[in-house]
Chain A
């Protein structure tokens, strides 16, 4: 049974593409057949983050218009052979995607893949709405920062009203992926805490990804952070999130928020 999951946020730059690539690669490494789909027509980047930018021949719009077969457009990852990419078009207008075209392509993908991750463009325009339209579940990517939280709240409202499932009166599961979290700043009261964000958005958590220098390194070289067996905190967070997607129950460790100078001094004495 295949699942279509939209990775969305409203706000740009919070880590949708990084999260799509990292979770997609982690899922594929567990043996699941995964396709990551870039919905950002005109500003595609998922290909670049996956290191496949020179292998794009046909794209999503070619398939939606019937100019290419799906099999011709799918790019299989060279490192993880259960991971596939359907790239967005870089040259076409963003209105080139239609409801019917997207529905047909998603329907075709469902027949081959266990998981279809839709990387949404920022905003609440056509592209973002099409990315969520046929989803069964949503991952809402949020930074612990006021504008990101506000935009996520808006997106949650759209997921509950503009998706096919919502229109049919069905439930669409929405889970929060908190990214760029800095436990030290949060403990000093300089950054919204995990509890604050959960309290405001009131959807369950799928993971907390701490701020991590490895993320930039991974995108520099075009290999998602979950791919090379990295043990960095962000890689572990993404791997756990991927396992939670498949239904495993793994407790979410909230990065230590109590490491104030005073506490550290105290614990050192005790040790």
Chain B
């Protein structure tokens, strides 16, 4: 029985998966870079966290789109002891 199933097609799920991947890549592009700010925020957070231990909720990333130009505003609150410790660690490493 398993052999028959193996010889037959692999079922319809792979087709569903492929159709969705193609469709969503188009739809995401059509709606525009709406995820851009979220992506930037996640990557900024990951980068900063490698060096300073920060609270994820203290980082705000905003994008304002105007006709001629856009601005990206990144605001992060860092407790002063964290900065001091980060610098000390780096000094120790060097």
Min CB distance A109 to B, Å, is 21
Min CB distance A201 to B, Å, is 9
Residue from A157, A169, A191 whose CB has the most chain B CB atoms within 10 Å: A169
Contact A153 B60 (CB under 8 A): no
Question: From residue 143 to 168 of chain A, which have CB atoms closer than 8 A to chain B?
Answer: 145-146, 149-150, 153-154, 157, 160-161, 166, 168
Inside 8 A of A260's CB, which chain B residues have their CB?
2, 5
Among the stretches B27-35, B46-54, B82-90, the one at the interface with A is B27-35
Contact A170 B16 (CB under 8 A): no
Min CB distance B68 to A, Å, is 21
Give complex CA distance A198, B23 in Å: 16
Inside 8 A of A160's CB, which chain B residues have their CB?
34-35, 37-38
Contact B73 A169 (CB under 8 A): yes
Closest to B6 in A: A262
Give complex CA distance A146, B13 in Å: 9
Contact A146 B19 (CB under 8 A): yes
Give complex CA distance A47, B41 in Å: 39
Inside 8 A of A161's CB, which chain B residues have their CB?
34
Interface band, chain A: 20 to 34
Question: From residue 101 to 156 of chain A, which have CB atoms closer than 8 A to chain B?
Answer: 145-146, 149-150, 153-154
Closest to B9 in A: A189
Min CB distance B2 to A, Å, is 4
Min CB distance B93 to A, Å, is 30
How many A-B pairs have beta carbons closer than 8 Å: the answer is: 70
One of B10, B21, B34 near A189 (C-beta < 8 A)? B10
Given the interface pairs A150-B20, A261-B1, the reply to whether A190 lies near B12 with Cβ below 8 Å is yes
Inside 8 A of B81's CB, which chain A residues have their CB?
none
Min CB distance A186 to B, Å, is 7
Inside 8 A of A196's CB, which chain B residues have their CB?
13, 16-17
Contact B75 A200 (CB under 8 A): no
CB of A258 closer than 8 Å to a CB of B: no
Closest to A160 in B: B38
Contact A189 B11 (CB under 8 A): yes
Min CB distance A199 to B, Å, is 8
Give complex CA distance A160, B41 in Å: 11
Give complex CA distance A168, B59 in Å: 11
Per-residue CB proximity of B62-84 to A under 8 Å, as 1/0? Answer: 10000000000101000000000
CB of A55 closer than 8 Å to a CB of B: no
Q: Which residues of A contact B (CB under 8 A)?
A: 145-146, 149-150, 153-154, 157, 160-161, 166, 168-171, 186, 188-193, 196, 200, 260-262
Closest 6 A/B residue pairs (Cβ): A189-B11, A169-B60, A169-B62, A262-B2, A160-B38, A190-B11
Q: Which residues of B contact A (CB under 8 A)?
A: 1-2, 5, 10-14, 16-17, 19-21, 23-24, 27-28, 31, 34-35, 37-38, 41, 56-57, 59-62, 73, 75
Could you list some 12 contacts between A and B, CB below 8 A?
A146-B16, A146-B19, A157-B35, A169-B37, A169-B41, A171-B41, A188-B5, A189-B10, A189-B12, A189-B14, A190-B13, A192-B17
